[in-house]
């Protein structure tokens, strides 16, 4: 037969990559975050100053503009108080939270600055008996995933908390107030966010990665008043120091001399460094600083050579020498960064060696742990689940920290249990399969119907409760749940016989099958002492024929009973014999017969699409039918495996005319397997395009499902990008664009030129194959769907596809359109640009999901995430075009995505721009 384009096929079978159904995440997470960015006011760059409970904005004495907090929080009530502070009386608004249920979180926009940096978050809490009850509240506060501190307004009113927080890729940072039992209503007066100098507050923190800092002291030595913006452009508040150091040591020193600040990354303001405490009478200078709690602390000591001398001294912290003979050079500023583990008090002592000891400023921070965030895959899967329930479960931010979401259980940052009972889920969506670490999954009474599916990846699952639903079939995946101990399927509509595979679950010790429509013998593989099987309330279900006489197995008897089976001899009778033998009355026999007929009819219904027999396939115009013998001969008895996929292995073959072929032997003999086999043969026999892989023929004999394709020696795009013999380095930008253009042409043909239209449904790198000249062809139509009515806008279908490429909208609505292929193709484009897989488990959790990770960078035109191998070789405009179309293709909202024809047009342009860019070098 004639295949357009080249005549070879691939080294890799479809689905050879990414077949493991793990990690699936969506754009959802990002889109749920309210991004309302800091309008930069005239004051400090990126400052955000919220007047909590305030209704109008104003500019304060330090020339900082304050705005109402209304846009950043949706809960709480507002009021205001009059109180006297220092010499001035003020009328201050505040926000309080009498309801202890609702979330009390501010979503603070943090300057999205694509790499690591720090922000300062300062909150001020004032009670001043605003409610007239005279009961100052106690509550805790959290920042991001970390519970940072307890606020107790009894002793200190106002109370100020200040944090130095490492900003990651995210746009918002949650600042939350949490009620404590009998603590009263949390209250807050102001909240400030200030960006800090890049790289500041990390020096010497190697032993403490991923920590936040909670301010304890910030002292401007030798100065008697507090100082902040605009003198400190970062608006840190530097306190006067009289109260901290014994009064006798010295008076403040104020000697103005220029000095070089460049070596101090924290950039303390010159106004702070211009003053110092210099010891003139004795040679030991001490700051004694009591701490709030036993903990780990980060200390920065600032020195500036503001006197015309070069003093040197030893630095001791709590009696330990931390720096000997420290020199302060004239006209230079320097800093000492120290960490102290497990201390309760701080005694900083400088012992003179030459001249007098001196110090200009001190900062002391408590080191606060930031719990790891749950993986973005988990979070997005849970968000999709929340969406599918149609309820607002209050699932926001992180499922595990600072507090666990309702219905969720965690171990550390890992979600290990999910209990969603008594709601309307209808089906077990593939999302559940992404919660890879689940140990407990309880979906009882959630209106689940159909087959038990999409759970096969949950290798750690120990307890699965699907009781009180309308499930009708065991499905094929339960046997994969290798850790399962308790399986509760009672009160469903499971019919037929109990699958033998369940016996493979070695840890299973309770299997509850009560009140279903099961019949026949329970497989002997389940007849073991360690396992309790409950079977009452079924049609006729037992380990032996005998108990079928037992009235308790009559379905009309409602009371569930516990039947504990112990070892019995294997029973060889067929199910039919058991059934007929056991049923005494004709009535029951009739019921069973009509039930079987019903069952049979149902099965018939599901098979309407394609007939399974090869005879019918003969009518399909193109593909040649091979005999199993021919296939065996062609593949030299299946000698050389060139690929392995979820649906089977691919072998190299040589036809009698010498033509090389790729032979895909499918092992999935399930109904789904057969359907998709026939589907693929059928579709591939109909479509012909140079960018679609060509089917040479097939074999469908005695349960064999074998497909014979043209052989493409270039392998799949996935092999090229990530395989052991990856050609990533030589895969230049222009080549990648060419591949993208080719594949888009193939898809464009499916969507727009073929009749009926075809939705591929499994577009991914491993389904894009390359010939010797690196022409790309799309393959694997096992999941493809035809859109029969010319005007149909979508097809409703059970969600199938590959993790990482699946359109989130299709996923949540189950409505399939061509735009789902566009989404998957967008993911392929992102892979070509970034040179990485759509899902991965290494790196930061934020980078697990390619779409979530790459989108903000590419949208911002930040090409530092472009594949290292492409650096410096691409035309920026060409990259920009491709990046924009890739990002648009993975829009969550399908209607916002371009059509494949538009994608193709954009890619062609990007390709030609890159070609002329390259040509300009040749000249």
Ligand X SMILES: *[C@@H]1O[C@H](CO)[C@@H](O)[C@H](O)[C@H]1NC(C)=O
**Residues labelled catalytic:** 762
Q: How far is the CB of 156 from ligand X (least distance, A)?
A: 7
- What whole-number distance in Å separates Cα of residue 267 and Cα of residue 287? 22
Q: According to the binding rule CB under 6 A, does residue 116 interact with ligand X?
A: no
Q: At what angle do helices 818-834 and 876-889 cross, to 10 degrees?
A: 140
Q: According to the binding rule CB under 6 A, does residue 594 interact with ligand X?
A: no
Q: Total residues contacting ligand X (rule CB under 6 A)? A: 29
Q: According to the binding rule CB under 6 A, does residue 257 interact with ligand X?
A: no
**One symbol per residue from 622 to 661: x for binding ligand X (CB under 6 A), - otherwise; what is it?**
----------------------------------------
Backbone angles phi, psi at 83, to 5 degrees: -155, 165
Q: How far is the CB of 184 from ligand X (least distance, A)?
A: 10
Nearer to ligand X, 133 or 562 (CB): 133
Give the pairing type, strands 284-304 and 361-369: antiparallel
Nearer to ligand X, 322 or 798 (CB): 322
- Which candidate, 437, 399, 398, 408, places its Cα nearest to that of 173? 398
- Which candidate, 603, 576, 556, 241, places its Cα nearest to that of 451? 603
Cis before 158 (ω within 30): yes
Nearer to ligand X, 198 or 629 (CB): 198
Give the ranges where 283-410 is alpha helix by DSSP (H): 376-389
Nearer to ligand X, 225 or 604 (CB): 225
Nearer to ligand X, 288 or 667 (CB): 288
- Which candidate, 406, 401, 404, places its Cα nearest to that of 386? 406
Q: According to the binding rule CB under 6 A, does residue 319 interact with ligand X?
A: yes
Q: According to the binding rule CB under 6 A, does residue 667 interact with ligand X?
A: no
DSSP helix/strand/coil, 224: coil
Q: Which residue is nearest to ligand X (CB)?
A: 155
Q: According to the binding rule CB under 6 A, does residue 254 interact with ligand X?
A: no
Tell me if 918 sits within 8 A of 870, measured CB to CB: no
Q: How far is the CB of 616 from ligand X (least distance, A)?
A: 56
Residue 699 in tokens: 């074999």
Select the residue interacting with ligand X from 243, 262, 556, 702 (CB under 6 A). 262
Q: Can you spell out the DSSP letters for 389-417?
A: HTS-----S-SSSSSPPTTEEEETTEEEE
Q: According to the binding rule CB under 6 A, does residue 111 interact with ligand X?
A: yes
Select the residue interacting with ligand X from 55, 90, 129, 260 (CB under 6 A). 260
Q: How far is the CB of 900 from ligand X (least distance, A)?
A: 34
Span 532-591, contacts to ligand X by CB under 6 A: none
Q: According to the binding rule CB under 6 A, does residue 90 interact with ligand X?
A: no
- Interacting stretch for ligand X, rule CB under 6 A, among 106-114, 419-427, 614-622, 668-676? 106-114
Select the residue interacting with ligand X from 36, 71, 114, 577 (CB under 6 A). 114
**One symbol per residue from 822 to 851: x for binding ligand X (CB under 6 A), - otherwise; what is it?**
----------------------x-------
- Interacting stretch for ligand X, rule CB under 6 A, among 39-47, 410-418, 481-489, 713-721? 39-47
Phi-psi group of 80: left, alpha or beta (phi > 0 → left; psi -120 to 50 → alpha; rest → beta): beta
Q: How far is the CB of 749 from ligand X (least distance, A)?
A: 42
41-to-57, 66, 406, 897 alpha-carbon distances in Å: 12, 9, 39, 35
Backbone angles phi, psi at 361, to 5 degrees: -160, 155
Nearer to ligand X, 128 or 785 (CB): 128
Span 264-293, contacts to ligand X by CB under 6 A: 286, 288
Q: According to the binding rule CB under 6 A, does residue 132 interact with ligand X?
A: no
Q: How far is the CB of 1 from ligand X (least distance, A)?
A: 53
Q: According to the binding rule CB under 6 A, does residue 864 interact with ligand X?
A: no
Q: How far is the CB of 372 from ligand X (least distance, A)?
A: 6
Q: How far is the CB of 319 from ligand X (least distance, A)?
A: 4
- What whole-number distance in Å separates Cα of residue 314 and Cα of residue 309? 17
Select the residue interacting with ligand X from 119, 191, 316, 338 (CB under 6 A). 316
Nearer to ligand X, 314 or 501 (CB): 314
Q: According to the binding rule CB under 6 A, does residue 45 interact with ligand X?
A: yes
Residue 120, C-beta contacts closer than 8 angstroms, at least 6 positions apart: 162, 163, 164, 165, 192, 193, 194, 195, 196, 234, 235, 236
Query: 608, exposed or middle or buried, with CB in 10 Å at 0-12, 13-18, 19+?
Result: exposed
Select the residue interacting with ligand X from 224, 282, 549, 671 (CB under 6 A). 224
Q: According to the binding rule CB under 6 A, does residue 154 interact with ligand X?
A: yes
Select the residue interacting with ligand X from 40, 129, 210, 324 (CB under 6 A). 210
**One symbol per residue from 440 to 459: x for binding ligand X (CB under 6 A), - otherwise; what is it?**
--------------------
- Which candidate, 805, 802, 740, places its Cα nearest to that of 770? 740
Tell me if 882 sits within 8 A of 804, measured CB to CB: no
Number of other CB atoms surrounding residue 775 within 10 Å: 17
H/E stretch holding 496: strand 495-496
Give the ranges where 324-395 is alpha helix by DSSP (H): 376-389
Q: How far is the CB of 138 from ligand X (least distance, A)?
A: 4
Q: According to the binding rule CB under 6 A, does residue 42 interact with ligand X?
A: yes
What's 502-567 look like in SS3?
HHHCCCCCEEECCCCEEEEECCHHHCCCCCEEECCCCCEEECCCHHHHCHHHCCCCCCCCCCCCCC
Nearer to ligand X, 844 or 873 (CB): 844
Q: How far is the CB of 64 from ligand X (least distance, A)?
A: 9
Span 329-388, contacts to ligand X by CB under 6 A: 347, 349, 372
- What whole-number distance in Å separates Cα of residue 502 and Cα of residue 488? 13
Q: According to the binding rule CB under 6 A, does residue 600 interact with ligand X?
A: no
- What whole-number distance in Å separates Cα of residue 297 and Cα of residue 371? 18
Q: Please identify which residue in the block is written with the tokens 């010498």.
A: 658
Span 710-749, contacts to ligand X by CB under 6 A: none
- Which candidate, 335, 214, 352, 315, places its Cα nearest to that of 273? 335
Q: According to the binding rule CB under 6 A, does residue 324 interact with ligand X?
A: no
170 is in an annotated binding site: no
- What whole-number distance in Å separates Cα of residue 400 and Cα of residue 654? 56
- What whole-number distance in Å separates Cα of residue 393 and Cα of residue 847? 26
Q: How far is the CB of 596 from ligand X (least distance, A)?
A: 58
Q: According to the binding rule CB under 6 A, does residue 135 interact with ligand X?
A: no
- What whole-number distance in Å separates Cα of residue 714 and Cα of residue 771? 5
In angstroms, how far apart are the furthest CA atoms of the chain? 113
Distance from the Cα of residue 304 to its chain's centroid: 47
Annotated binding site: 664
Give me the residues that bind ligand X (CB under 6 A), please: 42, 45-46, 63, 111, 113-115, 138, 152, 154-155, 195, 209-210, 224-225, 230, 260, 262-263, 286, 288, 316, 319, 347, 349, 372, 844
Annotated binding site for ATP: 664
């Amino acid at each position: 037969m004639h295949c357009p384009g080249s005549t070879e096929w691939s080294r890799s079978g479809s689905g050879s990559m990414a077949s493991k159904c793990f990690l699936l995440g969506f754009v959802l997470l990002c889109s749920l975050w309210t991004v309302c960015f800091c309008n930069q006011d005239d004051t400090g760059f990126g400052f955000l100053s919220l007047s909590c409970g305030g209704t109008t904005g104003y500019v304060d004495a330090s020339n900082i503009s304050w705005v109402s907090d209304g846009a950043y929080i949706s809960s709480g009530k507002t009021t205001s108080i009059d109180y006297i502070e220092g010499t001035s009386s003020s009328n201050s608004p505040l926000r309080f939270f009498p309801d202890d249920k609702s979330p009390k979180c501010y979503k603070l926009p943090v300057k999205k600055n694509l790499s690591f940096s720090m922000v300062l978050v300062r909150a001020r809490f004032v009670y001043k008996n605003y409610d007239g009850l005279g009961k100052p509240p106690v509550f805790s506060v959290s920042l991001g995933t970390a519970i940072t501190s307890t606020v107790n307004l009894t002793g200190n009113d106002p109370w100020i908390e200040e944090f130095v927080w490492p900003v990651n890729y995210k746009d918002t940072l949650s600042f939350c107030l949490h009620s404590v039992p009998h603590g009263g209503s949390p209250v807050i007066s102001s909240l400030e966010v200030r960006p800090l100098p890049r790289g500041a507050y990390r020096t010497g923190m190697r032993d403490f990665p991923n920590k936040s800092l909670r301010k304890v002291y910030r002292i401007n030595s030798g100065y008697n008043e507090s100082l902040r913006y605009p003198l400190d452009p970062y608006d840190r508040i530097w306190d006067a120091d009289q109260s901290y150091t014994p009064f006798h040591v010295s008076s403040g020193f104020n000697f103005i001399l220029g000095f070089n600040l460049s070596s101090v990354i924290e950039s303390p303001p010159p106004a702070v460094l211009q003053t110092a405490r210099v010891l003139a009478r004795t040679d030991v200078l001490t700051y004694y600083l009591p701490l709030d709690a036993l903990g780990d602390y980060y200390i920065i000591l600032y020195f500036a050579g503001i006197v015309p001398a070069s003093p040197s001294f030893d630095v001791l912290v709590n009696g330990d020498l931390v720096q000997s003979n420290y020199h302060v050079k004239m006209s230079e500023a320097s800093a000492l960064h120290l960490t102290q583990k497990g201390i309760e008090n701080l005694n900083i002592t400088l012992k003179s060696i030459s001249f007098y000891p001196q110090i200009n400023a001190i900062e002391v921070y408590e080191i606060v742990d930031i719990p790891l965030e749950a993986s973005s895959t988990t979070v997005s899967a849970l968000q999709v689940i929340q969406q599918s329930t149609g309820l607002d479960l209050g699932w926001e931010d992180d499922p595990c920290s600072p507090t666990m979401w309702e219905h969720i259980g965690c171990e550390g940052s890992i979600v290990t249990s999910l209990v969603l009972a008594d709601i309307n889920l209808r089906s077990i969506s593939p999302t559940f399969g992404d919660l890879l670490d689940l140990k407990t999954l309880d979906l009882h009474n959630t209106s689940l119907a159909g087959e038990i599916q999409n759970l096969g990846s949950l290798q750690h699952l120990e307890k699965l409760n699907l009781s009180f639903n309308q499930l009708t079939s065991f499905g094929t995946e339960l046997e994969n749940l290798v850790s399962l101990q308790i399986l509760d399927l009672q009160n469903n509509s499971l019919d037929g016989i109990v699958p033998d595979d369940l016996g493979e679950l070695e840890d299973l010790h309770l299997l509850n099958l009560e009140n279903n429509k099961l019949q026949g013998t329970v497989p002997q593989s389940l007849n073991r002492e360690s396992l309790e099987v409950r079977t009452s309330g079924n049609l006729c279900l037992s380990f032996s024929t005998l108990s079928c006489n037992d009235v308790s197995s009559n379905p009309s008897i409602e009371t569930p009973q516990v039947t504990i089976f112990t070892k019995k001899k294997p029973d060889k009778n067929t199910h039919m014999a058991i059934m007929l033998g056991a049923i005494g009355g004709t009535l029951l026999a009739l019921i069973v017969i009509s039930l079987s007929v019903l069952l049979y009819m149902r099965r018939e219904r599901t098979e309407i699409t394609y007939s399974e027999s090869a005879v019918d396939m003969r009518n399909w115009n193109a593909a040649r039918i091979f005999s199993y013998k021919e296939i065996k001969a062609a593949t030299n008895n299946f000698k050389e495996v060139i690929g392995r996929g979820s649906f089977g292995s691919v072998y190299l073959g040589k036809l009698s005319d010498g033509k090389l072929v790729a032979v895909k032997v499918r092992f999935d003999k399930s109904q789904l397997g057969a359907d998709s086999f026939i589907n693929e043969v059928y579709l591939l026999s109909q479509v012909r395009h140079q960018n679609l892989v060509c089917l040479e023929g097939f074999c469908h004999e005695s349960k064999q499902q074998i497909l014979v394709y043209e052989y493409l020696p270039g392998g799949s795009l996935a092999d090229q990008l990530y395989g052991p013999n990856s050609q990533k380095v030589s895969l230049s930008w222009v080549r990648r664009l060419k591949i993208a253009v080719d594949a888009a042409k193939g898809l464009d043909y499916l969507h727009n030129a073929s009749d009926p239209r075809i939705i591929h449904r499994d577009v991914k790198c491993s389904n894009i194959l390359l010939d010797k000249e690196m022409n790309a062809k799309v393959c694997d139509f096992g999941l493809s769907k035809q859109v029969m009515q010319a005007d149909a806008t979508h097809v409703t279908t059970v969600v199938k596809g590959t993790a990482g490429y699946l359109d989130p909208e299709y996923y949540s609505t189950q409505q399939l359109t061509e735009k789902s292929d566009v989404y998957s193709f967008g993911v392929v484009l992102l892979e070509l640009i970034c040179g990485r897989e759509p899902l991965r488990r290494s790196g930061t959790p934020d980078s697990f999901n390619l779409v979530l990770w790459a989108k903000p960078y590419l949208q911002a035109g930040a090409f530092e995430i472009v594949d290292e191998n492409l650096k410096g070789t691409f035309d920026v405009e060409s990259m920009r075009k491709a990046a924009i179309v890739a990002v648009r293709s993975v829009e969550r909202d399908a209607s916002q995505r371009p059509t494949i024809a538009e994608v193709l047009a954009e890619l062609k342009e990007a390709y030609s721009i890159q070609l002329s860019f390259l040509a300009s070098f040749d000249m």
